[in-house]
Chains A and B, each alone.
Chain A
Amino acid sequence: MSRRQQALARRIVASFVLLTLLVSGLFSLMVIEAASYAEDFFSEESLNQEFENLLSAESAGRPLHTSRGTQLYVVAPAAPSNLPLWLAGMDPGYQEVDQDGVEQHVLIRDAGERRYVLVQVLEEFERREDFLMAIVAVAFACSVLAAWGIGVLISRRVIAPVTRLAGQVRHRAQLLPLAPPLAPDYANDEVGRLAAAFDETMGTLREALERERLFTSDVSHELRTPLMVIASTCDLLLAQGLGDPHQEEKVRRMLDSCAEMRELVEVFLQLARAPQEKGGDGGAVSLGEVAQEQIEHWRSEAAARNLELTLTTEAADTGRYPAPQVRAVISNLLRNALHYTDQGFVRLVLRSGGFSVCDSGAGIPPDRRETIFQPFVRGDASRGDGLGLGLSLVHRICRQQGWRIRLDEYPGGGCEFRVDLSAV
């Protein structure tokens, strides 16, 4: 279970509990208020009634009788009073007094010269009131508990489909295309609509990817024939002989470029066909051969930019590798290095099981090294020249072939692109 989902669920539960706390708290308060209001009302009524009875009993000359739980004090101006102290200072009227922890209802009335003080303790009422309070408290606790329970349940109910959908959506692009759509699994509510929208987007994405793949493979495929024609025509021209060594040199250059293009087309075709599949029908070459040839190829460019281009063999490598791929990787790395180096050198270093391309350029800061292999990311944007695809292509070729490529800092500040061919 993800942490985010838990947070969402917790928020639902919290709001449930809070709301209940508020509502049932309010209710409880109201009940308590009502009870105490009723008590006062009842007590005042009964005391007044009793007082009236007393007055009429007195005027009729009958003995003064109070009901149970009620005490009467009569204060006459001359006579000594047995009135308890706490009642002495009170004003006439009805009052409720908390005395020794007991709620006392007091009615003081003056009639003629005398003051009548009626004190009532509603024991029975108090007991019932306490009982009522207990019930209210229990109900309050129960409702909060119930709210918590329902909140948990509902949040599970509501969140579960969201969590599941979120889980299903992760890395979905990799799933085999025969995977069933998401939407039928969900009710036709917001989540269901989200799932349907996702299905649709996924479909569009798949189509686009497929189109792109087909495009690349079509283009590559279709380019094969014209390139072949160019190559054979050049061959023919050379075979016939042009009589002019200058012209023949030009045709030979055309032939070279043509061969290079055919190889690139092969590489693209393979990348498009099977991004995961290793392979190479392009014939096996040794690292040394390709390195030598590429150094020759880029020598003039290096000279034009006043850079020293060298080939160092630290240890001989005996492996054979698919020619188009190795060539494309070395060629692109060399071109990249030459392009981003203003002065100094570019070195191609061969090791057993791999090679490095090093330069004395400005280098690439560590935080940008990860992104440098993404399509259209360029070392220094101001340099222009659409070289953005070069490193990305290199990266994709390496991944397809199971090679490992790494970018390190070369001693002195430049870059070292290190390729390990043996890494599986």
Chain B
Amino acid sequence: MPDQPASSSLHLPFSDKYDRQHAVNYLRKHRDGIARRLSHRRDEKIARKALALADEPTLVLDLPCGAGRFWPVLAEHPNRIVIAADYSAGMLETARTHQPPALRERIRMLRTSAFSIGLPDGAVDSVFCMRLLHHIGSEEHRSAILNEFHRVARDTVILSLWVDGNYKAWRRRKLEQDRSRREERGEQNRFIVPARQVEAEFRDAGFEILGRIDFIPLYAMWRTYVLRKATAGGDR
């Protein structure tokens, strides 16, 4: 398995902000504070539900695994093996050292980019991709990632991103309009995608939608999708 992500593949600037320090902070961030903890609890619940919808896949690629926030949930299924992958070596290192050793046995580490995953076709049952796609602003880049997921996943893909059609998204757009009137902000690195558009993109990439789970319906932007590779015309 290649140690380095292929150099020829796409590279976006946001991927580089996750150095070691950031990684530790990230992990801490999700452990501190009641609101954070509640939100993490909700994230875990959604993950559980999504995995059930995906028929409890047993070989899961957790990409990006970040600090391994979802490992405890992923490992709840006793017969599951997780390939934990991230672009950032710092993140992987943090994950490796901060997670209970009991979990690590069922988890393999892989440093790779979501744009070019260092695994063969159909290598895993499911790609589990939390909190990555909201960093991807352009449709072209999203499609590159989705195609890569379609290639590597044998059956399903679980992913979360920001969609419109809720209060937060509406607020954000309003704030952005105000802000852009006042000053040109530095380039943003998180994006909202219209739900209809992203669902069309899923279908174009060869997926059917098994389920949608909202973090808080009509309020929050986070939505988790469970996708399955469409069978009709999906295979040769």
User: Footprint of B on A, CB under 8 Å?
Assistant: 2, 163-164, 167-168, 170-172, 174-176, 178-182, 184-185, 276
Contact: B121 with A168, CB < 8 Å? Answer: no
Distance, CA A167 to CA B155, complexed state (A) = 8
With beta carbons under 8 angstroms apart, the residue of A163, A180, A276 that contacts B58 is A180
A288 to chain B, nearest CB (A): 28
> What are 16 inter-chain pairs, A to B, with CB distance below 8 A?
A2-B231, A164-B55, A168-B55, A171-B235, A174-B121, A174-B122, A174-B123, A175-B124, A175-B125, A175-B154, A176-B59, A176-B83, A179-B59, A181-B79, A184-B78, A184-B79
Distance, CA A170 to CA B80, complexed state (A) = 18
Report whether over half of chain A's contact residues are helix, strand or loop; otherwise say mixed: loop
B89 at the interface (CB under 8 A from A): no
Contact: B155 with A164, CB < 8 Å? Answer: no
- A276 surroundings in chain B (CB, below 8 A): 120-121
B26 to chain A, nearest CB (A): 28
Least CB separation from A163: chain B residue: B55
B114-130 at interface with A (beta carbon < 8 Å): 119-125
B81 at the interface (CB under 8 A from A): yes
- B83 surroundings in chain A (CB, below 8 A): 176
- A179 surroundings in chain B (CB, below 8 A): 58-59, 81, 124-125
B108 at the interface (CB under 8 A from A): yes
Contact: B78 with A176, CB < 8 Å? Answer: no
User: Footprint of A on B, CB under 8 Å?
Assistant: 55-56, 58-59, 78-81, 83, 108, 119-125, 154-155, 231, 235
- B231 surroundings in chain A (CB, below 8 A): 2
B153 to chain A, nearest CB (A): 10
Least CB separation from A274: chain B residue: B120
- A163 surroundings in chain B (CB, below 8 A): 55
With beta carbons under 8 angstroms apart, the residue of A2, A175, A176, A180 that contacts B79 is A180
Give the 7 A-B CB pairs with smallest separation, nearest first: A174-B122, A179-B59, A184-B79, A164-B55, A176-B123, A180-B58, A180-B79
Contact: A172 with B154, CB < 8 Å? Answer: yes
B182 to chain A, nearest CB (A): 46
Distance, CA A176 to CA B82, complexed state (A) = 12
Distance, CA A175 to CA B58, complexed state (A) = 11
With beta carbons under 8 angstroms apart, the residue of A168, A180, A182 that contacts B80 is A180
Contact: B56 with A175, CB < 8 Å? Answer: no
- A185 surroundings in chain B (CB, below 8 A): 56, 58, 79
Distance, CA A180 to CA B79, complexed state (A) = 6
Distance, CA A194 to CA B56, complexed state (A) = 18
- B81 surroundings in chain A (CB, below 8 A): 178-180
Least CB separation from A179: chain B residue: B59
Contact: A170 with B59, CB < 8 Å? Answer: no
Least CB separation from B1: chain A residue: A176
Contact: B59 with A178, CB < 8 Å? Answer: yes
Distance, CA A181 to CA B81, complexed state (A) = 10
Distance, CA A276 to CA B122, complexed state (A) = 13
Contact: B122 with A171, CB < 8 Å? Answer: yes
- A171 surroundings in chain B (CB, below 8 A): 122, 154, 235
A402 to chain B, nearest CB (A): 13
Distance, CA A172 to CA B58, complexed state (A) = 12
Least CB separation from B228: chain A residue: A167
Distance, CA A174 to CA B59, complexed state (A) = 12
- B56 surroundings in chain A (CB, below 8 A): 164, 185
With beta carbons under 8 angstroms apart, the residue of A2, A164, A168, A175 that contacts B123 is A175
For the A-B complex with A168-B155, A184-B78, A185-B58 known, give 10 more contacts whose Cβ atoms are closer than 8 Å: A2-B231, A167-B155, A170-B154, A171-B154, A171-B235, A179-B58, A179-B124, A179-B125, A180-B79, A276-B120
Least CB separation from A183: chain B residue: B79
Distance, CA A172 to CA B154, complexed state (A) = 8
Distance, CA A182 to CA B57, complexed state (A) = 10
Distance, CA A180 to CA B75, complexed state (A) = 13
Distance, CA A163 to CA B55, complexed state (A) = 9
Distance, CA A170 to CA B79, complexed state (A) = 18
- A178 surroundings in chain B (CB, below 8 A): 59, 81, 108
Least CB separation from A176: chain B residue: B123
A344 to chain B, nearest CB (A): 34
- B59 surroundings in chain A (CB, below 8 A): 175-176, 178-180
- A176 surroundings in chain B (CB, below 8 A): 59, 83, 119-120, 123-124
Find the residue from B108, B154, B155 having the highest chain A CB count within 10 A.
B154
With beta carbons under 8 angstroms apart, the residue of A2, A168, A181, A184 that contacts B125 is A168
- B79 surroundings in chain A (CB, below 8 A): 180-181, 184-185
With beta carbons under 8 angstroms apart, the residue of B55, B80, B108, B154 that contacts A174 is B154
- B122 surroundings in chain A (CB, below 8 A): 171, 174-175
